A and B are shown apart, each in its own frame.
Chain A
Amino acid sequence: MAKVVITSVKNQPFASSEIDSAVEKAIDNLNYDFRSINNVVIKPNLCYYWTASTGETTDGRVVCAIIKYIRERIGNDVNITVAEADASAMRTKFAFSILGYDELCQKNNVALKNLSEGNVIAKTVKVGKAEVTLPFNEVLLNADLIINVPKLKTHNFIGVTCAMKNIFGSISKPRKYAYHNNIVNVIVAANKIVKSDIIVVDGLIVRGSCPKKLGVVMTSDNPLTNDFVAARIMSFNPKKVPYLNLAAKENVGETKNINIIEDGVKLAEIKKSFPHYSHRIHSISWGLQLKMLRAYTAVSGDVLPPFLEK
């Protein structure tokens, strides 16, 4: 039975010691077997240059807590790499510095890797009847343990973004915007190629209609299982989220028999506190406004600012 552990950091401003303790408890509850592990890759979500205070990117303190945990459980000689790939609008060379990951990795004596640089291997996998080929860095493919550290947040295009979408972010190709027309298949394919062993969700500050300090730390041993629970927290029906639905059909993980361990916090309470956001209403409203604007400027001869035209 797949497992999801939910715990929380109660006191603001979320002291590092409390984050360490929450992460330790949450991973311990997974009862993961850490034997024979030499190379660990930690994949945070650094989707853009927005700091963790915005709820968009992984808080470095959660990554620090994981590094400490790994060293305690596996040993000080284990190779740990914190890794992220360039994105359509984000370059890791800036993001690592802006978001403090340069300093974090230096202080903790771990490697920091841009997954868009170095040896990239094209991997092909079947999703339904289609074959999907995606480029991944060998650092990720050769890892003995992949710890996926996503955010708990909503997304304008795909609704839910958590563990599975974070693996999409690890594809080496920087311009991932090119995959958006086929994003459902690509997210599922990416997760069939790169298997997250442990998921540690940074829900300290979540992002829905606005950022909110919820202090949640959630762990799981499967990204799909994790995202089914995450979707429910964000008030989405996971079966209606296309990539989760497809991933379930493709047996990426367990979605029916989930053992949810609520450690000092209730899932219902978190769900109630989450700043809910309907991406569908947003998309419809934004699309309608743009159509009206285009019609208005065409009829009146007024200027449409170029950034709205593209």
Chain B
Amino acid sequence: MNILVKVGIVGLGHMGQLHMLNAMRVDGVDVVAGADKSEKNRKYAERFHVKTYDDYSKLIDAGELDAVVISLPNFLKKEAVFYAAEKGLDIFLDKPISRNLAEAQKMVGKVEKENVRMMVGVNYRYFPCVQKLKNKLENGEIGDAVIATSELVLNGPISHAVVPVPVPEWWLSKDLAGGGALLDLGYHLIDILCWLLGGFDVDYSSLGHKLHLPVEDAGTIVLKSKGTDVTGIVNVGWFSKSIFPEFNFRINIHGTVGFVSTDHYIPGDPRVNAVKEGLLNLMRRVAMKKLSYLSYTYYYSSFYKIIEAFFDALKSGSEFPISLEEQLDVMRIIDSAYRLNEFQISLEKQLDVMRIIDSPTLSPK
């Protein structure tokens, strides 16, 4: 096999490990090395004969790479992107692009200045149900879209793994994470709505703190399209205990002719789907054909597909399927939603003060 792209994995945590395993299966890609502070994570990569470093600067400075996959906590992303860009490496970056809009703009400015390319891993676009929904919409089968509702309610970082480990504390810090459920989960929904229906502005934003965290654990935002009069509703939450394979995600688009929902296309029983897809892959293996990686998990196959799309674009020199302008637009919407929520809270406080002043006990007789 000809090696066309030599890649390094920056951050070998759960997502970095998955990207590493996926990248190893893409034709023409050589996973040269990985970097992580954690010895346990490095040992995991070494099991797959991947050379490791305890610092990503050593990995990048070794000078063996064409590209990096950056899978780091939000507060470390900017520094790593800057470092890789200065060394002329193309970048695949886990979503969200950054903690806030200003940081995202600096990162995009940097990759443009250094003349390297970067793609953000918004893998939800690659869910089979989302792709089918997009086809229906583009074929005009529901007419003109008028209202789009989207939901993603999971446990977020508050998930109890098979082998219990504490939630990394950066997740629960506004400074380090940049935000909560809206930035983590809303990012996917907003990205998909913009991708399917064009640009939006924020009309309403209400963020909740049911779990008393410094970051929001619930949120509803209402979006208005910039010209097509489509209303988009985004509901997100980190408050649910549900775990995979339960997956509380859906997008419904109501049009002038009919409606379409991702619920129409997801497998009824995840276990039956796993057996079916597994058998198909075994047949592909016997026939020496390419596997449909992770299709037995349904949702996880999107991680393979998006990283394959990244490497395919690098190999062919074509445009990335996900542009940085789109990702800046997502961050602009999220930034507006945070600001609007704060404004609404301060307005409500002022109204409360006015209600107290106007109350009969304080009013002049």
Interface residues of A (CB under 8 A from B): 48-51, 54, 56, 87-91, 94, 97-98, 100, 102-103, 177, 289, 296, 299-308, 310
Nearest-CB residue, chain A, relative to B212? A97
A310→B297 contact, CB < 8 A = no
Q: Mostly helix, strand, loop or mixed at chain A's interface?
A: loop
B241 to A98, Cβ gap below 8 A? no
Across-interface contacts of B294 in A (CB, < 8 A): 302-303, 305
* Chain B residues within CB distance 8 Å of chain A: 14, 17-18, 21-22, 25, 44, 158, 160-167, 172, 210-213, 239, 241, 271, 278, 281-282, 285, 291, 293-294, 296-297, 300, 304
Instruction: Return the contact of A303 from the options B22, B158, B213 (Cβ within 8 A).
Output: B22
Q: How far is the CB of B210 from chain A (nearest CB, A)?
A: 8
| Contact of B14 with A307 in the complex, beta carbons under 8 Å | yes
In the complex, are the beta carbons of A305 and B18 less than 8 A apart? yes
CB-CB nearest 5 A-B residue pairs:
A89-B164, A88-B164, A306-B17, A98-B211, A303-B21
| Cα A242 to Cα B14 with chains together (Å) | 35
- Most B CB contacts (10 A, CB to CB) among A98, A100, A300, A304 go to A300
The dominant DSSP class at the B interface is loop
Closest CB-CB distance, A54 to chain B, in whole Å? 5
B150: shortest Cβ distance to chain A, in Å?
24
- Beyond A51-B239, A98-B211, 9 additional contacts (C-beta under 8 Å) are A49-B167, A88-B164, A90-B166, A299-B282, A300-B278, A302-B278, A302-B294, A305-B297, A306-B17
Evaluate contact between B281 and A306: CB separation under 8 angstroms: no
Rounded to whole angstroms, the CA-CA distance of A177 and B163 in the bound complex is 8
Q: Would you list 19 pairs from A and B whose C-beta atoms are within 8 A, ordered by A residue?
A: A50-B241, A51-B210, A88-B165, A91-B167, A94-B172, A97-B212, A100-B212, A177-B163, A300-B281, A300-B285, A301-B285, A303-B22, A303-B293, A303-B304, A305-B18, A306-B21, A307-B161, A308-B162, A310-B162
Q: How far is the CA of A48 from the CA of B165 in the complex (A)?
A: 11
Q: Is the beta-carbon distance between B158 and A306 smaller than 8 angstroms?
A: no
Closest CB-CB distance, A132 to chain B, in whole Å? 22
Minimal Cβ-Cβ distance residue in A for B301: A303
Query: B300's contact among A56, A296, A299, A305, by CB below 8 Å, is which?
Result: A305
The 8 Å CB contact of A306, one of B18, B166, B241, is B18
B291 touches A300 (CB 8 A): yes
Residues of A within 8 A of B44 (CB): 306
For A97, what are the chain B residues with a Cβ–Cβ distance below 8 Å?
A: 212-213
CA distance A192 to B167 in the complex (A): 32
Measured between beta carbons, the chain B residues less than 8 angstroms from A48 are 160
Given contacts A302-B296, A305-B294, A306-B21, contact A87 B281 (CB under 8 A): no
Which residues of the partner chain A approach B14 to less than 8 Å between Cβ atoms? Answer: 306-307
By a CB distance below 8 angstroms, the chain A residues around B296 are 296, 302
Q: Is the CB of B166 within 8 A of A89?
A: yes
